[in-house]
Amino acid sequence: MKERHAMRPILRPALSQLAVAALALVFLVLPALNARAAVDIQEVRADSGVTAWLVEDYTVPIISIRFAFEGGSAQDPHDRIGLANLMAGLFDEGAADLDSEAFQIRLDDAGAEMSFNAETDAIYGQMRTLVETKDEAFSLLRMAIQRPRFDEGPVDRIRSQIVAGIVARERDPERQADIAWRRAIYGDHPYAERDEGTPESLAAVTRDDLKSFHERMFARSNLKVAVVGAIDPETLKVVLDDLFSALPAEADLREIERADPKLDQEVRVDYPLPQTSIRLAYPGVERSDPEFFAAYMMNQILGGGTFSSRLFEEVREKRGLVYGVSSGLANRKYSTSLVIRTATRSDRAARTLAVIKDEIRRMAEEGPTADELERAKRYVIGAYAINNLDTSTAIARTLVELQIDDLGIDYIDRRAELINGVTLDETKAAAQRLLSVEPAIMLVGPAQEDGG
């Protein structure tokens, strides 16, 4: 679905023997059942107006809930970059009348798993609990959502952990390259910022900043919820009201402009490495665009199908220049792109890049063949359940993303028809539309290349 970059999920393990046994059963029986159950989605609306997509599954006595508050780190104030990420690390560090230690002991005693993480366009939360301990687990989740404490001790500790990670990655060439790439592609847009912040921006964050940001972001208007497991609609309505009804009706989000990636440029990050990483960016396509699936199928043929794509065949199989090469449509709320990634021995970088660009040019001019399109259709239809519906957690994650993308509750049932409806002419048009431009290119490696 979307390109996602989780920064620091906080996960508390379930400790009870019953939880361990039940979770083990999940992995044994759910994969075979979830693909069938996932298409039976109900929309449940609580008295407060909060809605959730529910998949009832009583195979094991477990409930998984996932939710998203749209906004994410893109909403960080300009002088408080990293605020959303820091906040996400603090929801199980004390809430209501429970300090950090007391909250975590109660969570462990309930045998539940709870986590939060901030991504660019949303803050996500999730919980998995046994049915028999759901009341205690959901009570703790309600406290975390509605009344996080943001006590000084936990704030300083989590901030120090994040800063330590930032400092440790300062010498990581891939991380530094990603920072340079964002700046080059997005300029002064929020997408150019480092989601985790900087030591300086994090040092400026106060408890009042955290409280204010939480009040702005956590509201019913920007909330998406999915629930999978052993719970009926009427019980879920009560849970939804308990968890979310006390939140403000409307989120206070600042307006963010769209960001078209700045193409037709070359970004070089010089590092004395034995390998050179290569990245190319082309225009993308909106998830709501009628031509999305044509672009999706074209990309699958180009580089999305890892071992069956044109790029893999030409760059890896025929010439042995790389171990792997891939392409993907990156869809964010305010920007889209088609990104190609690979890495090769540094003395082969120029040749590898030339082969990739030749193959892209051929796709733009000729498009895929009818046989390639039919094989790609069979694969992406068959692989969807394996990649998105294989566990209760994966189903809940998928259902939240479908809501964010506004694809409709019947999307899973319609998906195969939408893919099969893509014509060869449409995929050729998508190839020409997206690939007939000069891309942005980034090379991370030695300053001098001999062209290999």
Domain span at 44: 17-244
Contact in structure between 128 and 227 (CB atoms under 8 Å):
no
Kindly state the average pLDDT of the residues 2-6.
Answer: 33
- 276 shares a domain with 229: no
- 289 shares a domain with 216: no
- 274 shares a domain with 239: no
DSSP tag of 148: B
Neighbouring C-beta atoms of residue 3, cutoff 10 Å: 16
Is 3 a member of any domain? Answer: no
Is 320 a member of any domain? Answer: yes
pLDDT band, very low/low/confident/very high, at 308 (cuts 50, 70, 90)? confident
The fraction of the chain above a pLDDT of 90, given in percent, is 86
pLDDT higher than threshold 70 for residue 324: yes
- 117 shares a domain with 35: yes
- pLDDT at position 273, please? 86
- pLDDT at position 448, please? 61
pLDDT band, very low/low/confident/very high, at 307 (cuts 50, 70, 90)? confident
Domain count for the chain, please give it: 2
pLDDT in tens, 173-183: 889 899 999 99
pTM of the model: 0.90
- How many helices (H) does the chain have, and how many strands (E)? 16, 13
pLDDT band, very low/low/confident/very high, at 39 (cuts 50, 70, 90)? low
Residue of higher predicted confidence among 9 and 305:
305
Distance CA 129, CA 23 (A): 10
CATH, residue 339: 3.30.830.10
- pLDDT at position 3, please? 33
- 161 shares a domain with 280: no
- 40 shares a domain with 125: yes
In terms of DSSP H, where are the helices of 45-196?
Answer: 83-88, 100-109, 134-146, 152-168, 173-186
**Domain boundary pick from 193, 213, 244:** 244
Query: Lowest-confidence range among 29-33, 115-119, 438-442?
Result: 29-33
Neighbouring C-beta atoms of residue 4, cutoff 10 Å: 14
- 237 shares a domain with 176: yes
pLDDT in tens, 268-304: 999 888 999 999 999 999 999 999 999 999 999 999 9
Distance CA 387, CA 380 (A): 10
